[in-house]
Amino acid sequence: MSNSLHENIEVIESGYEFLLAYAAQGRESDDGSDTRATLSRMSDATVAIVTSLGDEDGEFPAVVVDDSRKAGAAIRLVLGQDKISSELVDNLNASIHLRALLTDLFLLSETGNSNQRD
């Protein structure tokens, strides 16, 4: 696994942990928090993962690319809001798209590479 891919996986995983804590705070707005910056980094990481794995052979890289696109779209939807409440972030955290991407990335991390034998 490339260092760049590993770094983007870390951005998604640590961002999700941050969002879990944010969701528990009961905030009405993201003012004064690092939520937008975290979501922006996560959005950038989803794009980078698509770029990194887009030309990989095998079935699983295609799954990760698809899930990265879907999770990225959900993240960017949240980023487009004037106020990002804890409730909105809680719903993002519960999104099947973000959870699928996290599970994909855990698998990639555990297997140590992005390729699989066909």
**CB contact at 8 A, 101 and 12:** yes
pTM over 0.75: yes
- Chain centroid to CA 80: 16
**CB contact at 8 A, 98 and 88:** no
What are the domain boundaries of the chain? 3-111
What is the rounded CA–CA span in Å between residue 99 and residue 51? 20
Nearest to 86 by CA among 29, 32, 13: 29
List, for residues 29-71, the tens digit of each pLDDT value.
999 999 999 999 999 999 999 999 989 889 999 999 999 999 9
CATH code for the part of the protein at 3-111: 1.20.120
What is the rounded CA–CA span in Å between residue 39 and residue 72? 9
**What is the model's pLDDT at position 113?**
57
Which amino acid type is present at position 81?
Answer: Q
